[in-house]
A and B are shown apart, each in its own frame.
Chain A
Amino acid sequence: MVPGVMLTLSAKRFTLNLINMFKLNLKIALRNLFKNKIYAAINIGGLGIGLTAFVLMLLYINHEESYDTWDPALKNVYQIRERHNFFTPDNKEHLQESNESRVANLIRQKVPQVIAVTKVDPDWDFRTGNSVKIGNADPITVYRMKDADSSFFHVFKYKFLQGSENNALKAPKSVVLKQSLARKIFGEGNMLGKVIKVVAWQGDEGTDLTVTGVIEDPETPETAGFTAIMRTGNKDKDPDNPTNSNYCQVYARVNEEADPELLNQTLKKVYVDYKKSTAPLRKIDYKSYFANGKYLQLKAIPLAEVHGNRPFEISWLEKLKPVIAICVFLLLVSIINFVNLATAQSVQRAKEVGVKKVMGAYKQQLIGQFLLECALQSMVALFLSVILIEVLLPWFNTQFHVELSFWHNANLFNILLQLLGLFTLVTLLAGFYPAWILSNYNPASVLKGNYSGSLKGIILRNVLVVFQFIISVTFIIAISVMHLQTNYLYNKDLGFERSNLINIRSGYDQNLAEKIKRIPGVQYVATTTQVMGNAFNVPEEIEYNGNKISLNTVTISMDALSALGVKLLKGRVFSKEYKQDTVNTVVLNEAAAKLIDKNPVGKSYKIIDQDRTFNFQIIGVIRNYHNEGFDKEVLPTLYKVTHLGGTSSTNNLIVRLNSDKSAAIIEKIKAEWKHAYPDFPMEYTTLDSAFDKVLENNRLFINMIMLFSTVSVSLSLLGLFALSTFVAKRRTKEIAMRKILGASNVQIVNLLNKTFLVLVIIANLISWPVAYIVVKKWLNGFAYRIDLPLYPFFLATVISIIIAVLTVSIQARRAALANPVNALKYE
């Protein structure tokens, strides 16, 4: 025979043999699984649940990572951020997404790398709805329609289904719709040239816009998301008066070669020059830009980095970190179950290992066999989790306000790759140690029969059980503390009466306000720049007794404080009886009073504006009331009445009802509204729901922790249950002997409990400090919080001990009640 042929023949035989071996091992694996059905179910089910949580988290991360990836060319797009203190929550300077509108032109003219620049509306939470009217149909509210200048589609290269990038926004009064919106308002067909009337606020007469384009909805989410881009013309020009400014977002597309570093250097120079040259026009001393540690900054942020790093927001990754930790722990708990049960079971497999070794099996072959068994189980677990995810995803999406998808994901290939990686990782984590232990059995001692005393395996198993219980106990402590804190927040005195109070999205219209006031059941109609759900902070520097103090200013109408139901501490609130109340009196909140004077009522302070001085008299002090999340302290604030009753852009028309039939009254208010503004639907929120919204993130977070901890605790217990079964089984002979020697059932149950009890107590001792640190850190995120109570710690300990003892006792009792003769005869 030719050597080559021989070689291929033996190679063929070799592969055939491998396949046969693989088949046989697979069969053994399956038979073992069937033999130990319950443990296999616990193993696989637990792992499936652990994987589900982990994969959901992966999907979420993928979703967040996919922001602004719908076009490869977006790598040349930058968001411009300017540093200023306009509209910041703490009234201090920050690098912000909104820029003074002139920045756009500045960049267009002075920065050579830039190809196109566009100005576009920012996302306002409370005022994004536009009323859209087509013909004589009833108006509908459309959210996230944004006004932009003509360059928008030169920066963001969307795919045009109708119209074209170059012509779409060429003329003012045009609008480009996303396909999803176009379908909703027009259905199918050609929409170019159709006219829609867009009403931006109730008093707006409306603008007729011609549809000049329809673009495809991108597959991945966008930072600068919108449903339609309008060119009303407002963004075309900057204000003529140099002391006036508009704020908007600015995006720029740069050429391929542009270097980000260099771009930012150019921006900085151009910006500083610009500020210097315009300072005299604005009647501002250029040096004041640098007073009190302030400085000038204009920065281009690559679009890819924008979503993960937004001003005034904790980045999604930062927010997700606790969830990532929890998912990892959950997966670990299920892997630990796996490892523990596998090593406990390994005693049953010892003989097989011994025999195979004397038949001439290599150690690697045995490791391979056991890893294969583990891979089989993780594969089933993975399929299970994919099914679970399909089932759970809709619920998960509504519960946590996300739009995740699995099979329809744009990144499906990537996700499948990640799953493959996860599968390998889990298989190795769960399978390697048991495989290694098993394949290391010494055949001589195994075949002699004394293979049970693998002490190393037992120590590791105990460590893992302790670890599992640390996780569970920490979870129990964390959820009880979170529960207490949430209760505290829900029942916290907000400083105003939130029930029977609604906030209509509208400025103060004297006529309408009067009409609403006449409706029976309406007590007050007022407006304010600061109410929970929509607070607008304006910084102001006052001078009191020669000290300069920075305060937050809130402008309100006469009735606003009464309408809110705030608590007066000293002096009085505003009232019609006092003429000067619309001119130069103010009310302070407690925080502001603390900064100014112990007894401020009746005293005056000064405001110096350029070269004029105004005097204000303090007439009262009210309790601090909350208008933002509980993570922030209430700002020191002064309240002023303006003759207009608030500013027109306030968009808070608050109505206090003094009747139980609020639904009926709201209907009446709606009717009045429709009468006044037929083209603009009324939008309102109750302060109760505004409050819920403030607590929503917190609520979601706690719900998630609750869910995950319940799952993790149950998985740990399932694991303990299975483990104790094994231990009881392994000690059957010992138990039988002891019974014959006269041990009572109780003594035997105690015998088995003792081992686990020690473990659980050790776990408790370790988890106390861990939980203390974790929970303390979480509580510190709240400006208003409970003192860390001790009893959740005791509670967790008691619960964990009771549950562990119960679980083990069920098994131990069974072992103890069994007839000793059976056990001994069998051996």
Chain B
Amino acid sequence: MIQLNNIEKYYANKGVKNYVLRLVTTTINQGEFVSIMGPSGAGKSTLLNIIGMLEEPTYGSYEFLGEDVTALNERKRIELYRNHIGFVFQAYHLIDEMTVYENIEAPLLYKKVGGAERASRIADLLDRFNMVAKKDLFPNQLSGGQQQLVGIARALAAQPSIILADEPTGNLQSAQAEEIMELFKKLNQEDGITIIQVTHSEKNAQYGNRILHIADGVVKEDVLVG
């Protein structure tokens, strides 16, 4: 599903190229649960952003679902966001002026999902995440863990084929983190959703089936779990 070939990313600073990523080549298949690990500043977020098409590589080719991403126009990319990719952020990034319900509903509106179907999908998600009672609350009225659940529900609403999560549990305590990881595992195994997450925790990485170790922009190790 994802095919990265010799991806490079550097920032030119006073004529010096500071490499963030060097010759990253890897394939991620449908249904995988990949964890990206490595020291701070290694380039993990950058790699995830490139996969999520939030950043462009300086060099290299990237195919998403068989399509060359570098050649995609804006409209096509937005279509991919709407139909295939869900983002989960470390800082949750819920929209403060929207209620829980509205936050989950927003991507469906952009995707132009009909009213009845929208309502049933949101009801489903709320139910699944035990948030029915909280649906009219605003993000600042929720705990961090709850906010992240809403963040994941929002990412799932559009029924994406892949979820990209940058340190989704970075701000959470271990109990909440475990809950989220269980959820990811379930989504991966039961719904077949591809998941790519960045994490610092060896324990969290164990929930997936593959780990990419990155250091200084280079993939040092690519190991399967279990």
Contact of B106 among A359, A362, A363 (CB under 8 A): A359
Tell whether A269 is near chain B: CB-to-CB under 8 Å. Answer: no
Which residues of chain B have C-beta atoms less than 8 A from A363's C-beta? 74
Determine whether the beta carbon of B107 is less than 8 Å from that of A359.
Answer: yes
| CB <8 Å contact, B110 and A355 | no
* Contact in complex: B93, A24 (CB < 8 Å): no
Is the CB of B145 closer than 8 A to any CB of chain A?
no
- Contact for B93 among A13, A31, A447, CB less than 8 A: A447
Is A461 positioned at the interface, with any CB of B under 8 Å from its CB? no
Given A359-B106, A359-B158, A444-B49, A354–B93 Cβ distance below 8 Å?
A: yes
Q: B78 near A: Cβ within 8 Å?
A: yes
Contact among B109, B112, B115 with A24 in the assembled complex (CB-CB below 8 Å): B109
CA distance A32 to B89 in the complex (A): 23
Among B54, B75, B98, B114, the residue within 8 A (CB) of A443 is: B54
- Chain A residues within an 8 Å CB radius of B113: 17
A444 to B109, CA, bound (A): 22
B89 A17 Cβ-Cβ under 8 A: no
A360 & B82 in contact (Cβ 8 Å cutoff): yes
User: B52 an interface residue at 8 Å Cβ cutoff?
Assistant: yes
User: What distance in Å separates the Cβ of A10 from its nearest Cβ neighbour in chain B?
Assistant: 9
Chain B residues numbered 108-163 whose CB sits less than 8 Å from any CB in chain A = 109-115, 154, 158
Q: Is the CB of A17 within 8 A of B82?
A: no
A31 surroundings in chain B (CB, below 8 A): 97
Contact B102 A360 (CB under 8 A): no
Instruction: Give a binary string over B50-78; 1 marks a CB under 8 Å from any A CB, 0 the rest.
Output: 00101100000000000000000011001
Among residues 360 to 393 in chain A, which have CB atoms less than 8 Å away from a CB atom of chain B? 360-363, 365
Taking CB atoms, residues of chain B closer than 8 Å to A360 are 78-79, 81-83, 107, 110-111, 158
Does B28 lie at the interface of the complex (its beta carbon under 8 Å from any beta carbon of A)?
Answer: no
B112–A13 contact, CB under 8 A? yes
Q: In the complex, are the beta carbons of A17 and B93 less than 8 A apart? A: no
Instruction: Tell me whether B87 is interfacial, beta carbon within 8 Å.
Output: yes
For window 319-356 of A, CB contacts with B under 8 Å fall at 351-352, 354-356
Is there contact, CB below 8 Å, between B93 and A14?
no
Specify which of A16, A24, A356 is in contact with B114 (CB 8 Å cutoff): A16
| Interface assignment of A184: CB less than 8 Å from any CB of chain B | no
A459 to B55, CA, bound (A): 27
Which of B89, B95, B110 is close to A447, meaning CB atoms less than 8 Å apart?
B89
Pairwise interchain contact A355-B93, C-beta atoms closer than 8 A: yes
Interface presence of A135 (CB below 8 A):
no
Tell me whether A362 and B78 are in contact (CB under 8 A). Answer: yes
CA distance A360 to B113 in the complex (A): 13
Does the CB pair B109–A28 fall under 8 Å?
no
Chain A residues whose CB sits within 8 angstroms of the CB of B96 once the complex forms: 351-352
* Residue in chain B with minimal CB distance to A449: B91
Please report the total number of B residues contacting A with Cβ < 8 Å: 35
In the complex, which residue of chain A has the Cβ closest to the Cβ of B138?
A31
B 14-37 to A, binary, CB cutoff 8 A, 1 in contact else 0: 000000000000000000000000
Give the docked Cα–Cα distance between A16 and B115 (Å). 8
| Docked complex: A718-765 residues within 8 A CB-CB of B | none
Residues of B contacting A425 in the complex (Cβ-Cβ under 8 angstroms): none
Docked Cα-Cα span, A32 to B85, in Å, equals 29
- Which residues from B are CB-within-8-Å of A351? 93, 95-96
- Residue of chain B at shortest CB distance from A362: B78
Residues of B within 8 A of A314 (CB): none
Q: Give complex CA distance A351, B95 in Å.
A: 7
Q: How far is the CA of A197 from the CA of B114 in the complex (A)?
A: 82
A-B pair count, CB < 8 Å, reads: 79
A10-30 interface bits toward B, Cβ cutoff 8 Å, 1 = contact, 0 = none: 000110110011001001100
Query: Is B167 at the interface (CB under 8 A from chain A)?
Result: no
Asked if residues A20 and B109 are in contact (CB atoms below 8 Å), the reply is yes
The answer, yes or no, to whether A598 is at the interface (CB within 8 Å) is no
B8 at the interface (CB under 8 A from A): no
Cβ of B107 to closest chain A Cβ, rounded Å: 4
A16-74 residues with Cβ-Cβ distance < 8 A to B are 16-17, 20-21, 24, 27-28, 31-32, 35
Residue of A354, A359, A365, A444 touching B81 (CB-CB under 8 A): A359
A569 at the interface (CB under 8 A from B): no
Of the candidates A14, A24, A355, A361, which one forms a contact with B102 in the assembled complex, judged by CB atoms under 8 Å apart?
Answer: A24
Q: Find A365's partner among B93, B110, B111, B114 (CB 8 Å cutoff).
A: B110
**What's the minimum C-beta distance from B62 to chain A, rounded to whole angstroms?**
15
* Complex Cα–Cα for A24 and B102 (A): 8
Give the number of residues in A that approach B within 8 Å (Cβ atoms): 30
Chain B residues within 8 Å of A27, by CB = 97-98, 102
Please indicate the chain A residues that have their CB under 8 angstroms from the CB of B111 in the complex: 360
Taking a contact as CB atoms closer than 8 A, the residue among A361, A362, A444 that contacts B54 in the complex is A444
A806 at the B interface (CB under 8 A): no
Digit string of A438-459 for contact with B (CB within 8 Å is 1, else 0)? 0000011001110000000000
Q: In the complex the two chains form, is B98's CB within 8 Å of A28's CB?
A: yes
- Interface residue A549 (Cβ < 8 Å from any Cβ of B): no
Is A795 located at the chain interface by the 8 A CB criterion?
no
- The residues of B that contact A185 with a CB separation of less than 8 Å are none
Residues of A within 8 A of B94 (CB): 355
Write the chain B residue with the least CB distance to A354. B93
Give the contacting residue for B112; candidates A14, A35, A443; CB below 8 A.
Answer: A14
A490-505 vs B, Cβ < 8 Å mask (1 yes, 0 no): 0000000000000000
Q: Please state if A359 and B110 are interface contacts (CB–CB under 8 Å).
A: yes
Inter-chain contact B106/A24, CB cutoff 8 Å: yes
In contact, A447 and B54 (Cβ under 8 angstroms): yes
- What chain B residues lie within 8 Å of A32 (beta carbons)? 97
- Nearest CB to that of B45 among chain A residues? A448
Q: How far is the CB of B54 from chain A (nearest CB, A)?
A: 4
For A244-280 the 0/1 string (1 means CB < 8 A from B) is 0000000000000000000000000000000000000
Residue on A with the closest CB to B55? Answer: A444
| A28 and B97 in contact, given A444-B54, A447-B89 (Cβ under 8 angstroms) | yes
Q: How far is the CB of A7 from chain B (nearest CB, A)?
A: 15
Among B75, B79, B83, B93, chain A packs the most CB atoms within 10 A around the CB of B93
Is residue A788 contacting chain B, with contact meaning CB distance below 8 A? no
A671 CB-CB contact with B under 8 Å: no
How far, in Å, is A20 (CB) from chain B's closest CB? 6
B196 → A minimal CB distance (Å)? 15
Query: Which residues on the A side are within 8 Å of B83 (C-beta)?
Result: 360
Tell me which residues across on chain A come within 8 A of B85, comparing CB atoms.
358
Please determine whether B55 and A24 come into contact, CB atoms closer than 8 angstroms. no
In the bound complex, what is the Cα–Cα distance between A361 and B107 (angstroms)?
8
Are the CB atoms of A13 and B110 closer together than 8 Å?
no
The smallest C-beta distance from B175 to any residue of chain A, in angstroms, reads 23
Q: How many whole Å from A109's CB to the nearest CB in chain B? A: 77
The verdict on A358 contacting B87 (CB below 8 Å), with A16-B114, A443-B54, A447-B54 known, is yes
Do A352 and B109 form a contact, CB below 8 Å, given A358-B52, A358-B87?
Answer: no
The residue on A at minimum CB distance from B166 is: A447
Within the complex, the shortest CB–CB distance from A540 to chain B, in Å, comes to 82
* B109 close to A17 (CB less than 8 A): yes
Give A193 to B111 CA distance when docked, in angstroms. 81
Inter-chain CA distance A771–B91, complex, in Å, is 52
Who on chain B is nearest to A12 by CB? B114
CA distance A449 to B89 in the complex (A): 11
Measured CA separation A678–B177 after assembly (Å)? 105
Interface contacts beyond A13-B112, A27-B102: sample of 13 additional A-B pairs, CB < 8 Å, sorted by A: A13-B114, A17-B114, A24-B98, A28-B98, A358-B52, A358-B54, A359-B107, A360-B81, A360-B82, A362-B78, A444-B49, A444-B55, A447-B91
* 9 A-B pairs closest in CB distance: A360-B82, A444-B54, A360-B81, A359-B107, A31-B97, A360-B110, A28-B97, A13-B114, A21-B109
| Residues of B participating in the A interface, judged by any CB pair closer than 8 Å | 45, 49, 52, 54-55, 74-75, 78-79, 81-83, 85, 87, 89, 91, 93-98, 102, 105-107, 109-115, 154, 158
Q: Jot down 8 A-B pairs with beta carbons below 8 A, ordered by A.
A: A13-B115, A351-B95, A355-B95, A358-B81, A358-B87, A359-B110, A443-B54, A449-B91
